Amino acid sequence: MKVDLSNDFKEKYRNLMGDRADSLFESIEQASQEAFRLNPLKANYKNVSYSLAQPIPYSNIGYYGAINGNSIDHLSGYVYSQEPSAMYVTELLDPTGNDKVLDLCAAPGSKTTYIASKMASEGLLVSNEINPKRAKVLSSNIERMSITNTVVTNNSPKDFEKKFNNFFDKVLVDAPCSGEGMFRKDPESVKYWSLDYVEQCANRQQHILDSTYKLLNQGGTLVYSTCTFSPEENEQNVAWFLDKYPDMHLVEVKKFPGMEDGRPEWANGNPELKKTLRMFPDRFNGEGHFMCKMVKDGEPEELRERQINDGLKKDDLQLVQKFAKTNLNGLTQNNWLKISDFLYQAASLDNRFKGLHILRNGLKLGEFKKNRFEPDIAWILALKPDELKTVYQLDQEQFEKYLHGESVILSDRPDFDNKWIGLAYQDKLFSWGRFSNKEIKNVYPKGLRR
């Protein structure tokens, strides 16, 4: 694979890396390493059609190998494609269900969905993306992966400062960068690269880090990462940040084979910068990445949730209860929130979110329509089979037709007492079906049809 590296790029890294630069350039000409993660939020989550023979050593749910985006494993949220270097970022963050976590630059969602899987639907995860189109992709991926504890926002980091001062226990800044580490995965990105672009990215990252400091609680953890080799965006920005905020300090992290220390000599010479971590594709089985873990000194400030919850009107509540009684094996009312005609199981009812542009608050359960309640695709993706009255297993032909928007015609009338049933293929729930007579009518969202 030919990647047309500019002379400025080659000269820069020859000056920094000497003879090793040629090894780096050669690695950029090689095929990228593909990998994927399993989703432990799913029932029987290891039941996938992909080989688990090559586990990634630092992730208990990561594996080397490629996946098909049209497979049932992908459509139902059992697997997520993520290159192996990027997986280690979430391992450094180490989120738990007791944390309030912010993923500040979250699209398209690979790191956010990994974070959510480690939180096991507990705690609070705020996933923000400033670009509106990318924020929609982020929201869609969160929906597919059965995530219920996440608020998806479309705001600038500055928008968070007054509302969430010293609020988050853990913050991930996977900063927008010059993308040098992804040149072989995305050769088109080479065209945008220039020395000036690197400087622009570094300046933007400093503004993001400034906001991040204000959002992080005392005793909290910040993980900063980029997918570029550039010292300006990596060691130099970390050095700048540590100098500006003396109560932040780097934490030593485990480095697996192929991972390397950061380069203090590429910044201000601070030996602490060796605690940062680099991955170069000539020595590591993955794309180019930089990451580090920092902690803010002090004792955490206990912050109470400023809760708002108007509850559901009696008529709406009865419609949901009627739906649940007919179609589900029980229902727990937990943080229900009605927005317009849509019902959510909210990840947070904290009024700090008021005024932010929210794309998704927790799990979208469904929509109220003319004296009835219709469930949303997000809900079926988050349910386990034993939570449904009826799960109907499609065969391959029925599955393919359903993905195309066709209904399923049944030769015999089955003994279904309920109208809404869960549809599964290869034992994986992927959609609702609306049963009537001998037909399962197609309610698969048009935007997902193949």
402 in any annotated domain: yes
Residue type, 290: F
Q: How many residues does the chain have?
A: 450
CA dist., res. 69 & res. 14, Å (int): 39
User: Are the C-beta atoms of 120 and 97 separated by less than 8 Å?
Assistant: yes
State mean pLDDT over 24-46.
Answer: 96
Does a structural domain hold residue 436? Answer: yes
Is residue 353 in some structural domain? no
* Distance between CA atoms of residues 374 and 358, nearest Å: 22
Under 8 Å between Cβ of 101 and 115: yes
> Considering the entire predicted model, what is its pTM?
0.96
Q: How many CB atoms lie within 10 A of CB 251?
A: 13
| Residue 323 belongs to a domain | no
Note the pLDDT tens digit of each residue in 42-60: 999 999 999 999 999 999 9
Q: Total domain count for the chain? A: 1
Tokens representing residue 124 in the block: 């609070």
Question: Which whole number is the average pLDDT over 28-49?
Answer: 96
CA quadruple 210, 214, 217, 223: dihedral, nearest 10: -20
Q: Residues 423-435: what's their mean pLDDT?
A: 96
- Angstrom distance (rounded) from CA 329 to CA 418: 12
Least confident among 166-170, 303-307, 406-410: 303-307
Please say if the pLDDT value at position 306 is more than 80. Answer: no
What pLDDT does residue 313 have? 87
Contact yes or no for 82/61 (Cβ under 8 A): no
Indicate the annotated binding residues for S-adenosyl-L-methionine.
105-111, 129, 174
The Cα–Cα gap between 315 and 372 comes to 10
Question: What is the per-residue burial (b if ≥16 Cβ within 10 Å, else e) of 307-324?
Answer: eeeeebeeebeebbeebb
pLDDT tens for 120-161 read: 999 999 999 999 999 999 999 999 999 999 999 999 999 999
- Clarify whether 292 is annotated catalytic: no
**Res. 437 pLDDT band, cuts 50 70 90:** confident
Which of 177, 201, 227, 292 is catalytic? The answer is 227
Confidence (pLDDT) at 72: 97
436 bridge partner residues:
439
For residue 415, tell me if it sits in a domain.
Answer: yes
Question: What integer pLDDT is reported at residue 166 of this predicted model?
Answer: 95
CB burial string 59-86: b at 16+ within 10 A, e below: bebbbbeebeeebbbbbbbbbbebbbbb
- Name the residue range of residue 407's domain: 389-450
Annotated binding residues: 105-111, 129, 174
Q: Which pair of tokens denotes residue 169?
A: 């226990």
Task: Name the helix (H) or strand (E) containing 112.
Answer: helix 110-119
Residue 430 within any structural domain of the chain: yes
Q: Is residue 426 part of a domain?
A: yes
Integer Cα distance of 364 and 324 in angstroms: 15
**Widest pairwise Cα distance in the chain:** 76
CATH code assigned at 414: 3.10.450.720
Residue 253 lies in a domain: no
Supply 195's token pair.
Answer: 């020395």
338-356: pLDDT as tens digits = 999 999 999 999 999 999 9
Q: CA nearest 99: which of 120, 122, 81? A: 122
